[in-house]
Amino acid sequence: MEQKKIYNQKKISKDYAQRDYLSEAEIQIIEDLKQFLPKFNMLDMGVGGGRTTGYFLPMVNSYIGADYAPNMIAECRKKYRNKKIFEVVDVRNMSKFSDNMFDFILFSYNGIDSFDLKDRETALGEIKRVLKNEGLFCFSSHNINWTGLYNLFKFKNIYEKLVFKSDQRKSKFLESIVKLISFFKAILINIKLDIQNKSFNIKFHIDQLKEAGYGNLIDNSLNGKAKIFYISFKSQIRQLKKFGFKNISAYSINGIKTEDENELNKGGWIYYLCQIEK
C-alpha cells in the first residue's frame, strides 16, 4: 500500500496526535540548539500529529508544521487550535515555499524513510532549496546496521508482540485462544514478510542491504504494509555530503552525539544534524 494512504488513515493520524514525548536524541539536539532556536524560522516537515510542535513552537521565531497526509494536518490543527501554522505539503515538491525560506528544517521519526532512493534525493534537493545558506537540517533515519534488526523478523518476537498487543485477556481460556490465534498469525506474518521482501532468507537479504549500504525493507512496522528505507551511518554521511551538507553530527538512540558506530548501531534509528552550504 502507498505510504501516504497508510499515514492518512484516521486511526493512524489519531494515534500520532496522542503522542507528546521527545526521544533522548531530540532532547539532546534541542539542548545543543537552544541558543540558536529563538532566531530560527522553522519547518517541521512530516509533523504527523504534532508530537514535536508543542516543544518547538514556543522556542522558535516562526514555525510551520507540514505533512503530506491531510488527516495528520487536520489532527494538528485540532490539537493546537491553530489553522495557520499547519500545511499539507509533500517534501518532494515544496513549491508552496520559496527558496532560502527556513533556518531550520526538522524531519523527525524517519519520515524521510517513507520512499525510495530517487525520491529521497528529490526530497534532499527540495530541503536544500528552501533552507537558507548555513541553515540546519535535522532528521532521523532507519539504521541498516542496527544490531537488533534481524530480531524484527524472528517468529518468537512477532508472536510475543501479538500476544502483548491483545493484552485484554479476561480469563485463562481467553488467554489460550489469544495465544493460539497469535501463533498462527505470527506464522502468516512471517511468510508474508518473506514474500514481500522477495527473500526466504531474510538474514541474507539484510546482509545484502548492509553490503550495499542502503535499501528498502518491509519490516512489519505500519502493520507490515510499508517499504521502509534503511541506510548505514557511512552511506548517510556520503549522501548528505553529495548534497552540500557539512558539519554533520550523529546522535544515537541514547541521545549520545558520536561517530562511534558501536554506539550508533545500538539503535534502529540514527539522528543526524547538519548544515547546508550553498
Task: Kindly state whether residue 136 participates in binding ligand SAM, applying the rule CB under 6 A.
Answer: no
Between residue 9 and residue 38, which ones bind ligand SAM under the rule CB under 6 A? 16, 19
Rounded to an integer, what distance in angstroms lies between the CA atom of residue 244 and that of residue 124? 10
Q: Which stretch binds ligand SAM (CB under 6 A): 68-76, 157-165, 229-237, 254-262?
A: 68-76
Q: Which three cell numbers stand for residue 35?
A: 541558543
Residue with cell 489469544: 178
Nearer to ligand SAM, 114 or 197 (CB): 114
Rounded to an integer, what distance in angstroms lies between the CA atom of residue 40 and that of residue 223? 36
- Nearest 10 degrees: CA dihedral of 99, 46, 273, 148? -150
Task: Kindly state whether residue 51 participates in binding ligand SAM, applying the rule CB under 6 A.
Answer: yes
Nearer to ligand SAM, 54 or 148 (CB): 54
Q: Which three cell numbers stand for residue 194?
A: 518473506
Q: Which stretch binds ligand SAM (CB under 6 A): 48-56, 76-84, 155-163, 249-257?
A: 48-56
Rounded to an integer, what distance in angstroms lies between the CA atom of residue 261 and that of residue 247? 18
| Residue with the CB atom nearest ligand SAM in the bound state | 48
Query: Using CB under 6 A as the criterion, what x/- string covers residues 86-125 for binding ligand SAM?
Result: ----xxx---------------xxxx--x-----------
Measured on CA atoms in the order 33, 38, 43, 48, is the torsion positive or negative? positive
Nearer to ligand SAM, 24 or 261 (CB): 24
Rounded to an integer, what distance in angstroms lies between the CA atom of residue 126 and that of residue 253? 27
- Contact residues toward ligand SAM (CB under 6 A) are 7, 16, 19, 45-48, 51-52, 67-69, 72, 90-92, 108-111, 114
